[in-house]
Structure 1
Amino acid sequence: MWWNNLGLKEHLKFARDRPVECFMFAVGLNFHPGYTSFRILLSKVINLILIIDDVYDIYGSLEELKIFTNAVDRWDVGATEQLPECMKTCFQVLYNTTCEFAHEIEEESGWNLALPHLSKAVAIARPFPLFFFAFFFSPYGVHTFFSTTHRDGIKEIADFLHKNEDLVHNISLIVRLTNDLGTSTAEQERGDAPSAILCYMREMNASEDTAEAKIKGMIDNAWKKINGTCLRTPQQLPFLSPFINNIATNIARMAHSLYQAGDAFGDQEQGSRLIQSVLVEPLPL
């Protein structure tokens, strides 16, 4: 309903229409009962990420993208006046949804400082902190959080996420590189922007097999660093460890699942098979 009410399918015909795939990703991050609001909010976030990705990769000119990026950095709807209507609509939806998200957090917890953290996360293209807020301000998350800490500690945790750039970087790196491994061939055929594999091949004068091996090695190294953070977090912030050790690492795991055999977001046939397997068909006994 939310997706249809936005009207983005009519305004942004070039963008991917993948609400079910986005929900499947959210289920992969946390399937436990009691986190319905987390999955709903996260599905919205992922939908918006896909749309913005398509605006940058497919639609916008360099000059338009500079204006769009500046508007996001300033968090200013008025800064989009020179953009085409579809890009104005995209920013307005991003702005409204983020504000709605912050309002829901305030309603749940009484914390009125979520918006600066959320807008900062959007401005530097980091969905990771948004996942955190969705998790902790779902009904079960609020109960767990406030039974182990005080309200002023929310800012402490938000600051922890902003300061731990390595965790954010390594999870984002795995998502980016698994995407490149799964989509590089198809993107080359379409003439899309070069992937990490193609860039490495050109820079190092390497074969495709060598480039893929290098990318897989980078993914393995990122996992080692993530696992190190998972071991340290319980000592630093015990109440944050459920998020880091489960939800955060599941972001990287879902990236492997989506791109291990191609592009489950770009290839609707493959995406449909994965949805059937995850959400519809029972596990064989």
Structure 2
Amino acid sequence: MACSSNNTAAAAIATAHERRTADFHPTVWADFFLTHVFSDQETVNGWNAGIEALKENVKAMLSAPTPEKLRLIDVVERLGIGYHFEEEIEEQLQEIHHHPNNNIDEDLFTIALRFRLLRQHGYNVPSDVFKRFQNEEGEETFNKEELGRSDDVEGMMSLYEAGYLRMQGETILDEAIVFTTAQLAKYSEELAAAAGEHQNGLLMKRVARVLKRPLRKAVDRHEQLFFISVYEQTEGHDPILLKLAKLSWNSLQHLYQQELRSITRWWIDLDFATKLSFARDRLIEIYFWAVGAMWEPKFSTSRYVLSKLTMLVSVVDDIYDVHGTIDELEIFTTAVEKWDTSMKDFPNYMKIFFGALIDALDEVDAITTGEGRPYCLEYGKQTEKNQMRAYITEARWFAKGEVPKIEEYRRVGVYSCGYPLLAYSALCGLGDKAPKEAFDWLLAFPKIMGAVADHCRLMDDIVSHEFEQKRGHVASSVECYMNQHDVSRDEAVNALNRMVEDDWKVINEECLLINRPVFVCREVISMFVGLAKVMEVLYKDFDSYTFSNTSTMDMITALLVTPMDVVPN
């Protein structure tokens, strides 16, 4: 079949989503991905051939000596082509880390960029590199006269981005975020007044984007799309990098479409739309979640496993929250604890769900055992048990009308949020990069797992607790904090937002190479950061997962449907 035009594909998915929203028919959008052919194989082969032809040029750029090496690495990664050059980039960053340039004449932009790139890649760079930009000794504020010049917007954005790699106790980076936020807001007003000039307009877009969401909290794939559009309009951009970025975007998008087609067949065959009509249909959103957390091609199996198991988590979440009686839930939880597959005392809807869960885990077992990792299934069962224990605890609280203390709620919430299961799913797809020791480490609930899961639970509660309370739900962290500390909703939300920022500081610290066990590969760490980033995009101001007929559809269309136009040679 011929490749659909961009406009046709976008219009088709919009129509499918409108039908699903209007009719509440769970398979409409999924069926669209199953039946729609986006690109013919000849076109895809052309993209891949173009990628291979350009990669050698970029490898040569990365290995050549240049004072602009840091900027080149940053552009390559932000264009979404860094996965082609992981070894080359790592080699360059190791050299930069081991032989730092202590030139006191370096500007703010360069110092902040080096700091951010090295920390993003796990190097323990001290934050005191920014002390030279502060006021006299004893004052932990940045020098407004020196740094507040209107012509150094790039430097201010660079410092702003670096600030979000902060860890506990790094007050200099806390202050950097406060200072740069104010300065960038001022620059935004100045740029708006002079937006008639093209490059000023581009810079204004970038400043607005940064203030909305720093890179550390942005879904990589989403930001790559934005950066490609800006880079293309920037004077002096490299046409080789731009073309490679567009070809890579299209090639990866085609891979996503193939993965989603396979997952969709499974979902439609389950026919939960008919059998379990009370459950939310969020297959496409969950796959978007998987892409958001792990977008590179090497994560293909992880995305596949994560999408299936997380879709089932979404269903069982609705079983515990809105459909099952407390007696039914007690029976179900006990059966899962024993892994009793007879299901003799289950109501029919629970038999349907548990049967699907067993089949999904059996498929994961077949995949991992075929790779020589027969131990993965038992970890999956244990993770599911932990999830159900958390669910039944919350169901008992709700049945009794009990509002737990915030500390107790958070201890349970890190499991009920589902992120431990998502992390397990990701490890299952990493082959020999996730040995048995990595699963033991994950099951022991390392600090990074706790921080990412707590971040997920709190962000979800902050934006969705009012809706959840209306439909009948256990008290969220918002109600728990209000009840325990006798404060208003706004005061509780402010306190929870501070906890979210503390979680980010723990995540940043745990990403450092010095804190990573030898059997935990960088892909696992990348996955954790990716999961936190997805929460920032979907739950920052609004529950865009439950109510996905909003900006979520636009993001899904851009990431999964519409290819980029590439100028031929």
Give the TM-score range, shorter chain: 0.7 to 0.9
Preserved CA contact (<8 Å) 2:310 2:421 = no
Kept in 2, the 8 Å contact 1:234–1:241? The answer is no
Report the Cα offset of residue 43 of structure 1. Answer: 0.9
Structure with higher Rg: it is 2
In the alignment, does 2:337 pair up with 1:69?
no
Q: What CA distance in whole angstroms lies between the structure 2 residues aligned with 1:129 and 1:173?
A: 11
State the TM-score, normalized to the length of structure 1: 0.86
CA apart distance, 1:194:
2.3
> What letter corresponds to residue 364 of structure 2 in structure 1?
F
Q: Give the equivalent residue in structure 2 for 1:87.
A: 350
One-letter code aligned to 2:542: G
Q: 2:548 aligns with which of 268, 271, 274?
A: 268
For the 8 Å contact 1:197–1:212, the answer to whether it is kept is: yes
Letter paired with 1:264: S
Mapped to 2, the partners of 1:219 and 1:60 lie a distance apart of 31
CA distance in 2 between counterparts of 1:165 and 1:234 reads 11
The reply to whether residue 103 of structure 1 matches residue 366 of structure 2 is yes
Is this contact kept in 2: 1:11–1:86, CA < 8 A?
A: yes
C-alpha separation between the residues in 1 aligned to 2:535 and 2:563?
A: 22
CA RMSD of aligned residues (A): 2.3
Determine the C-alpha separation between the residues in 1 that align with 2:312 and 2:441: 25
Q: CA deviation at 1:76?
A: 1.4
8 Å Cα contact 1:233-1:241 kept in structure 2: no
Following TM superposition, by how much is the alpha carbon of 1:130 offset from its aligned partner in structure 2, in angstroms?
A: 4.8
**Cross-structure match for 2:503:** 222
Amino acid in structure 2 at the alignment position of 1:204: H
Once the 2 structures are TM-superposed, how far is the Cα of residue 158 of structure 1 from its aligned partner? Answer: 1.2
Taking structure 1 as reference, are residues 32 and 112 closer, same or farther at Cα in structure 2, changes over 3 Å only?
same
Return the match for 1:26 from 271, 290, 305: 290
> How big is the shift at 1:278?
3.9
- Paired residues of 2:427 and 2:439 also in contact (CA < 8 A): no
Q: How does 1:102-181 map to 2 (within 5 A)?
A: 102-107=365-370, 109-125=371-387, 128=419, 130-132=421-423, 134-136=425-427, 138=429, 141-142=430-431, 145=433, 154-181=435-462
Cα distance, 1:235 vs structure 2: 4.9
1:83 alignment partner AA: F
User: Structure 1's 235 and 229: CA in aligned 2 closer, same or farther, altered over 3 A?
Assistant: closer
Does residue 537 of structure 2 align to residue 257 of structure 1? yes
Shift of 1:164: 3.5
Tell me the secondary structure at the aligned position of residue 546 of structure 2: coil
Counterpart of 2:308 (choices 44, 66, 72) is 44
Equivalent-residue separation in structure 2 for 1:128 and 1:183 (angstroms) = 17
Alpha carbons of structure 1 residues 156 and 197: separation in structure 2 relative to 1, 3 Å: same
CA contact (8 A) 2:306 2:425 kept: yes
TM-score when normalising by structure 2: 0.45
Structure-1 separation of matches of 2:311 and 2:431: 24
Q: Confirm or deny: 8 A CA contact 1:182 1:262 kept in the other structure.
A: yes
Cα distance in 2 for residues equivalent to 1:133 and 1:190: 30
CA offset digits 1:72-127 (Å, max 9, x no partner) = 1111112x3222100111111112211211111111x2121111111111110255
Deviations 1:30-87 (A, max 9, x none): 1112432221211112101110110010011111111111121111112x32221001
Structure 2 CA distance, aligned partners of 1:188 and 1:5?
33
Is the counterpart of residue 6 in structure 1 residue 295 in structure 2? Answer: no
- The C-alpha deviation readout for 1:165-193, integer Å capped at 9, x for no partner, is 43322211111111111212322344433
Contact 1:234 1:240 in 2 (8 A): no
Q: 1:216-257, CA deviations, whole angstroms, 9 ceiling, x for partnerless residues?
A: 11111222222222125665216523311x111111111121
CA distance in structure 2 between the partners assigned to 1:233 and 1:173 by the alignment: 23
- The aligned length equals 270
> For structure 2, which runs of at least 5 residues remain unmatched after alignment?
1-264, 388-414, 565-569
Q: Secondary structure at the match of 2:510?
A: helix
Measured after TM superposition, the shift of residue 197 of structure 1 is 0.8
SS at match of 2:277: coil
Q: Distance in 2 between matches of 1:88 and 1:119?
A: 17
Q: Measured at CA, do residues 84 and 161 of structure 1 come closer, stay the same or move farther in structure 2, by a change above 3 Å?
A: same
